[in-house]
Amino acid sequence: MTALTVKNGSDGLQTTFYRKNYAFVKSILIFIFLLVFTGNFLGLTESVQAQDTVPRITTDSVLYRHSPQRAMMLAAAFPGLGQIYNRKYWKAPLVYIGFGTLAYFVDFNNKKYQHFKKAYLYKIDGDPATVDIYEQYTEQSVKNAMDTYRRWRDMNLLGTAGFYVIQIIDATVDAYLFEYDITPDLSMHIVPDFRQIDYLAARSAGLRIVFNWK
């Protein structure tokens, strides 16, 4: 991945790595969206299904009260603890995988940035004794590579900060829903849905969420 693809001094390298890093950033954004939306949706479904079999601890209990503020503080102090406090144990590994992936790309891009920075300084130092490992490329080409890795390192750092905030929000929202009062009169079902599309003379298939009040 360190090979330069620059020809005639153009910055083809920057375009190549832009596509690769864009695909990674898009994957991280999809992962974060699924973590928040799917987790909270499943949490609501579990509450509906467990209403008749598992007694819920009410907010009037003097022995225990599930606190959104506590979940938020735990998630802020150490990522993943808020999810564990909310008993969403399956979310904690996802948080650690997310941070581990982001940390890997921060480290990877930073090392490549330092490598091309050193190569660029060697190229412009004017010392004939300096070994230029990219002598077949122009100064601008090497500088473009250096700037690309620096930009993506900084974006990965911003992504890490954003992921940190997202997992705090996720833990706080889950804590608010932990004791959400769902009466036995409310039920939810996911059913197949088939609809006729008149202007296409065709049928479409999908899923429909149905809420019933008795």
Instruction: Name the pLDDT band for 124 (thresholds 50, 70, 90).
Output: confident
Q: How many domains is the chain partitioned into structurally? A: 1
pLDDT at 109 over 80: yes
Domain that holds residue 72: 12-182
Provide, rounded to the nearest whole percent, the portion of the chain with pLDDT above 90.
42
CA–CA separation, 143 and 118 (whole Å): 10
| Both tokens assigned to 40 | 């909270």
Answer yes or no: is 190 within a domain: no
Per-residue three-class SS string for 98-138: HHHHHHHHHHHHHHHHHHHHHHHHHHHCCCCCCCCCCCCCC
Instruction: Name the pLDDT band for 7 (thresholds 50, 70, 90).
Output: very low
Q: Which of 21-30, 85-94, 118-127, 172-181 has the highest mean pLDDT?
A: 85-94
43, 131 contact by CB (below 8 A): no
Average pLDDT over residues 97-101: 96
207, 193 contact by CB (below 8 A): yes
Q: What's the confidence (pLDDT) of residue 191?
A: 73
Answer yes or no: is 212 within a domain: no
Q: Calculate the alpha carbon distances from 58 to 64, 173, 181, 186, 204 in Å.
A: 9, 17, 9, 18, 43
Write down the residue that tokens 């467990």 correspond to: 50
Mean pLDDT of the chain: 75
pLDDT at 81 over 70: yes
